[in-house]
A and B are shown apart, each in its own frame.
Chain A
Amino acid sequence: MKKVWPILVVDDEEVMCESMAAWLREDGYRVDTAPNGLRAIELAGSTDYAICFMDLKMPGGLDGIETMMEIHRIHPDASIIIITAYATVDTAIQAMKEGAQEYIVKPSHPQEISMLVSRILKLKKLQSENAILRKKISRSYRHSDIITKNPRMEEILALTRDIASLRSTVLIRGDSGTGKELIARAIHYCGNRADKRFVSVSCAALTETLLESELFGHEKGSFTGADGQKKGKFELAEGGTIFLDEIGDISPKLQADLLRVLQERRFYRVGGSEEVSVDVRVIAATNKNLAEEVQQGLFRDDLYYRLNVIEIRIPPLRERREDIPLLAERFVERIASELGKDIAGISGDALKLLIDYDWPGNVRELENVIERAIVTSHNGTLVESDFSWLKQRSNQGQNWEVPDVPLAELERRAIIAVLERKRGNVKDAAAALGIDRSTLYDKLKRYEIAH
């Protein structure tokens, strides 16, 4: 690990340079030396030094501070350690104001230098890991990683790109497992808030009081068990994005609190008397029809309109069957690699079975089904028999077992199923459903069914 962090020692005294370099090399570092500022800058041009030990006073040419500033121009992250004698401590402190990370007075105890180097490099390692992870996370949520060739999904992706850097609130609608959080993350990581936090809160998972404290934080002693002040998710997401999943499940009181945050960008911690201001983009998601909830008086209309500035409706998987093979192949590749199984792909028969299945649990269900098949499969390719249990599940679905959903949802699903059977032909679908074409068009519009 050490050897990847090169160190530069800059001092006009050769014996100082070489003995220090030799001592550091014994510790496993790659060390270069420079007798003056110009040579140091030249070396920094070709090597990204993690640490530069810099003598403050170098006769002729550039002094230590000038050299440091030039190296910082080339490598802003280089840690400069100023070497000084007692007489020049004031100047060393001045150097720290100019950007030096530390100063050491020579001669120093070996332990002091050893700990200093190891502390700086530990910090650099963490910073580097952090940058890699951030990059990895942002890469995981790039738009290109959302797999689709469905025209409606492509429209959604184009929209998310357009709105990524806006502050407007977004409401994402879609059945469970359709990938609402994935879309929210894609918006966050493609926009100008990508280097700040994306904080996700599942509103349905907590009781009203817990959710209130989770969102807004609390002051010490505000309730039993509040041992200290705690920041809420809104504060943690400062400068970034908060994703409020299952927003349709929050209580009327929290609806009012949330409305205030959206309107004023300010709130009080639970038990607090000081207002906290935040700059947070809100992306909310729900699998409920919030417009209907508003009509029924279950959800505040003013909050609904605040949330619904930009609305995205993600189609269920059964409405984007062309994506099933793409998604399935991607899941096989990823999951097989994670589980260390050598599985090359899915057979044609197995794919047909997956395409024909109704996927009430959407993409999440598909992912779980693929994982189960990979775990139990003994073949190099997933075949139909690896999904035989899925066939039984599918057959059960054809026994007219009506799911526990609103009548309108049943109607919507029936229309989609018939349209698919009739290959998108509205005239044939209308005939099959026993309604005229204009009625079917009305319903397609009302249920937002693409055809």
Chain B
Amino acid sequence: MKAVCVVAIGNVPPEILEWVENVAVEWFPWPVRRLQALDLPEGSFDTNRGQYQSVEIMKAVARSRPSDAARILGVTEVDLTIPMLTFVFGQAQLDGPVAVVSLCRLRQEFYGLQSEEVLFRERVVKEVLHELGHTFGLTHCADPTCPMSLATHIGLVDGKEQRYCARCGEQIGQRIASQDGEPL
């Protein structure tokens, strides 16, 4: 039976992985399985920027994907980036099986503020929905309250709701029904 796999890259508190798993259980029709945590891949740290190259993390997650994993979602505490951008909240293969979410910029502490667990948890839910949405072929939504809308700063993440808009929800439902959720 197919599954959604969740994997930590580096150290990630188990309760956060549990939040991630709950989101997957709520929205997708497959059992959710946690894999053994991966080490941060060698060579993924960009010494000039002090950040991790998201592409390398994605490759490591893809390599660890079990054959029954319809989707695999990597979760990491480190700050991710790609060469062109100063940071990314996460990354996903559009209509593919692999996605990663960085928790780093979802924490209030990153912005020099006091930790807020409820807010942090909400942000995690939204980012997980966002990256997994991409793996179902969804592109950015024009509705700023939908988790599939583009967020280029944390304020835009906070403007989102913790559920897909009707249109995006319907599209995911159709993808699951029409191709049994298989990535293209």
Contacts and interface: CB of A to CB of B under 8 A. Distances in A.
Centre residue among B82, B87, B91 by max chain A CB count within 10 A: B82
A107 B83 CA distance: 6
A110 B84 CA distance: 9
Could you tell me the dominant secondary structure of chain A's interface residues? helix
Interface in B38-72: 49, 53-55
Contacts of A20: 82-84
B55 to A, nearest CB: 5
A23 interface: yes
B154 to A, nearest CB: 11
Given A15-B53, A107-B49, A27 B84 contact: no
Contacts of A110: 85-88, 152-153
B86 A107 contact: yes
B6 interface: no
B139 A25 contact: yes
Centre residue among B53, B81, B85, B140 by max chain A CB count within 10 A: B85
Contacts of B91: 19, 22-23
B92 interface: yes
Contacts of B134: 26
B93 interface: yes
Interface size class of B (residues with CB under 8 A): 20 to 34
A445 interface: no
Contacts of A83: 84
A358 B170 CA distance: 62
Contact of B152 (A15, A28, A107, A111): A111
Contact of B55 (A19, A111, A113): A19
Given A18-B55, A111-B153, A26 B83 contact: no
B86 A108 contact: yes
Given A15-B53, A106-B84, A107-B86, A22 B94 contact: yes
A114 B150 contact: yes
Interface string B75-113: 000000111111110011110000000000000000000
A356 B55 CA distance: 80
A73 interface: no
Contacts of A16: 82-84
B172 to A, nearest CB: 15
A322 B49 CA distance: 81
A20 to B, nearest CB: 4
Contacts of A446: none
Contacts of A25: 94, 139
B140 A23 contact: no
A26 B85 contact: no
Contacts of B152: 109-111, 114
A109 B139 contact: no
Interface of A: 13, 15-16, 18-20, 22-23, 25-28, 83, 106-111, 113-114
* 7 smallest beta-carbon distances between A and B, as pairs: A111-B152, A28-B139, A19-B82, A110-B152, A16-B83, A20-B84, A107-B86
